[in-house]
Amino acid sequence: MLLNNYKGLVFIVLVLALVYGLYLLINEFGPWVGCGRLQREMMDTLNRFQAVKGSDPVKNQLIDDLRADIEYSKFNKRPKLFERFAPKGVDVPLVYINGQGFNVHPTNAMNLATEALLYRRNWTEFYRIMKWMIRYLEWNGNASFFNFYFRWEVTSVPWNSSLCQGIAAGYYAIAYRKFGDPKFLEAAGGLVNSFLIDQKDGGFVLNTSYGKFYLEYSNAPDDLVLNGFMLSLKGLTLYNALIGDNISKQLIRDGLITLHNILPRYDDGEWSLYSPKHGRADENYHRLHIRLLYFLGKWYNDMFLLKYAEKWDNYLVTKGHSSELPRAKQEYQFWAELVRESRGKSDE
């Protein structure tokens, strides 16, 4: 009890120190701070976290959010939406959200991990990202979550995302195979277990007439985002190939059944939909759909998904755009080889 009280006192002192730092900055720096914008955004951050019970991962998010807001103010400029910034001592950049300051953004962190592996082949960078993100990982029984504390889609916080959960499960499996840290294995297993929790119980799994749908935005169950759903299946696939258990196998099986049932709903005859709610995907998301369909179709020898990949690629070509299939094949080969190398290394 005494230790918990001490931790609470330390946390309060840290927050007060950050607020005092804000006061000093307001009196020293220029327009962005002087106009009160930073004040409002930091107060918004404090209000968003106020109703949340302060576990250590939650406190870590709050402190890092405030640190980023204060330190960025030294640049004397207004940040752009989704701008990345890492304050001193923080290994993974935070992301700016209009009116809400800089925020820990777990999906952006997984995007950075993808860039480190797929584009830069930088294992040191990948390790640093995955290790740092564990400090934000929250546990609910044997399930772990990367929760989001900024408002998006709707105003409720916190929320979580199947996209982030699935990709992170796959990447922690890769990290465990590569570096052998048991914390990576624990994180991967907890993230997979989060796929067992219904949306109404704080998870992101929605039971639909098509089957179980894994929501990219747990706080928006009316928004069935296709790329987020398929990315979660890709992450689970990587996890299952490297760690493998009955839970992940069943989750993938359930997800593929849903994908087969629901996919025609995302085809308007000329293009793919981002979601039934938001309508047509832009070209970048349409190309992502093709790559994901190819990955899942090729991995599971699923001709239905491969035919959709070809069909949607043809939509591009007939409109005068370049084919996405060459990139899809290249990316599939990369992940397949990475899995083979990771399994071979761990079995030596």
In total, the chain counts a number of residues equal to 348
The confidence band for 5, taking pLDDT boundaries of 50, 70 and 90, is very low
The confidence band for 75, taking pLDDT boundaries of 50, 70 and 90, is confident
Which residue's structure tokens are 């800089």? 102
Which residue's structure tokens are 């499996």? 173
Q: What is the pLDDT of residues 144-189, one digit of tens each?
A: 999 999 998 777 889 999 999 999 999 999 999 999 999 999 999 9
Tokens of 172: 């922690």
pLDDT of 18: 57
The confidence band for 73, taking pLDDT boundaries of 50, 70 and 90, is confident
Angstrom distance (rounded) from CA 325 to CA 164: 25
- 113 pLDDT more than 60: yes
pLDDT of 156: 82
pLDDT of 315: 98
- 259 pLDDT more than 70: yes
Angle at alpha carbon of residue 223, lines to 219 and 229, rounded to 5°: 95
The predicted model scores a pTM of 0.90
The confidence band for 40, taking pLDDT boundaries of 50, 70 and 90, is confident
Angstrom distance (rounded) from CA 153 to CA 221: 10
Angstrom distance (rounded) from CA 83 to CA 297: 34
* Across 46-59, average pLDDT: 82
